[in-house]
Structure 1
């Protein structure tokens, strides 16, 4: 979608953190959008961010934001995602929310879906990897299966209390640790590739003092026989982020999820395809969202599919808690 074909909306941006400054605001400006208001609890920070990116106003009053805009991008700590979404939808504003929508915070999923369905607005979540060319190519290369899928993520993450990212370690604010953060992206991809799973279980452990987990494992199954295992770790050691889908007669592998390289192994031989990295991963997300507003497309991740990701996360946490109870209340690894 070219800039000339994109509807020009006035946006409100809720949040002023790293993803807003490095990705969201540059993407919106690159698509010729107007930013009517940047909102946050710290009015001075909101005003400074607005001034830096040429937005019309910074505010700590969300009602003021809603009065000035056509659409809202929510990139706050996770605990505020659903409340802000509901307020924006009730005001008749289109809403794009950062991931996860709520993680394991246990919001009323039916209420959220009903509110979104009742309003004449577009609602979606910013699961940006759906727009990655290599992952779209992988999805297009899938056959009937069944597949044995493996995905693994590991990266160091141990923020100190003064670190702006420390809130991610506090479960009641973040909706969970590595499972809600890195894991939500990968669960979304698995649901996007294979549909809603019919069976879910997992474990979480090695918690921060704020309750968020450093380690999670997830097992999913689908009616057709496809299964998936996902491991996510915030830990020292060699970084990893890979995905493999293996069937009886072929395999599809991404050695690095964001590396742009897709290896296909089939009876006729091996084929490697390389895809250029996206300069700003949120630009296509906003582009697809704007196409949906214009009625010429659909958002990359509609709200109902983001709610499914949270349902899977909650089911993983529930099975982990049951296992802890059966083991005398000792958290796995914690």
Structure 2
């Protein structure tokens, strides 16, 4: 349906499945801000919370069943913002209704769920994109230019540190993130997937991972992950994700034969030191709302004015690496990163 009407005049009329915290702070404001985009319907199993969100965001059509939202003729694009255990099911249903899909990160809990999503959208000829919105941040674009442009020479090594303070209380409404049946993993899967996606953006597909983690029973997900990931491009990346740190850090360091860079904090401050140009520092602003450029890009793709930057085949890449890290830690050996391999 949406593909047939896509043109230069196409406007996104979003139906949101799962209008929670991310929609409140990030995607919802972006959908309302981008010209040619609006929210026409929301769905949440808790109808009162759905009505509350709708009232505050000027949305008039509210549902507590996904089937009812997908039957709404005004909806011509679907945004899936549920917890990850529902990403696959909701994406498949939206695709079968003939609507393009934007799904939150991580794409799903497992690579196989991601493959099902890619297959469903391909068979129904609808767009699938994954909401790795940091691809559009100024920092990410500058890192791409530095790595691809040769300023650092041959890039050989990188180190990624993502550490956190104490884990949130089990009674917090966000505590589902530490239930692997819902989330698919711990901080590596949740916030770490953003960083793994950027590594793929910079270095391409990964080939293998060697990892260790400390689950700290009785917790069901890890508190600490230490991994080495080798990329097909030859870059070797050391990754540390840890909770309970006194001084949390979000840092990426890249080493090349002609220079190095340090992004700390990852999204905003950058120091580059090269043989040719010496030491330089940069400061970047985080776009607000964070999803604005992502939503604008989705609209451009639907209008035929751009190719999708993060289709399902790209979005799955973070899941493939994270899956290899988890399997390596569990099995105590180096594990090959699977390929996409979607059978249509």
Shared topology, TM-score over 0.5?
Answer: yes
1:122 — aligned with what? 127
Q: Identify the residue that residue 188 of structure 1 maps to in structure 2.
A: 197
Structure 1 unmatched runs, 5+: 325-334
TM-score (norm 1): 0.90
1:94 correspondence with 2:94: no
Give the drift of 1:216.
1.4
Residue segments in structure 2 that go unaligned for 5+ positions in a row: 1-7, 334-344
Residue pair 1:170, 1:208 contacting (<8 A) in 2 also = no
RMSD of aligned alpha carbons: 1.8
Specify the SS of the correspondent of 1:198: strand
Q: Does the 8 Å contact 1:49/1:58 carry over to 2? A: no
Distance, in Å, in 2 between the alignment partners of 1:110 and 1:53 is 33
Partner of 2:258: 249
Distance across 1 between alignment mates of 2:218 and 2:20 = 23
Identify the match of residue 279 of structure 1 among 288, 291, 315.
288
Tell me the equivalent position of 2:21: 18
SS of the residue aligned with 1:85?
helix
Shift of 1:146: 3.2
What TM-score, normalized by structure 2, do the two folds share? 0.87
CA contact (8 A) 1:155 1:233 kept: yes
* Structure 2 residue aligned with 1:302: 311
Deviations 1:131-160 (A, max 9, x none): 111111111111362321001011124222
Equivalent position of 2:32 in the other structure: 29
Q: 8 Å contact 1:48–1:58 — kept in the other structure?
A: no
Tell me, yes or no, if the aligned pair for 1:182 and 1:232 is still in contact at 8 Å.
no
Matched with 2:67 is: 63
Q: How many residues end up aligned between the 2 structures?
A: 318
**SS across alignment from 2:192:** helix
Q: How far did 1:238 drift?
A: 0.2
Aligned-partner Cα distance in 2 for 1:219–1:57:
48
**In the alignment, is the contact (CA less than 8 A) between 1:250 and 1:266 conserved in 2?**
yes
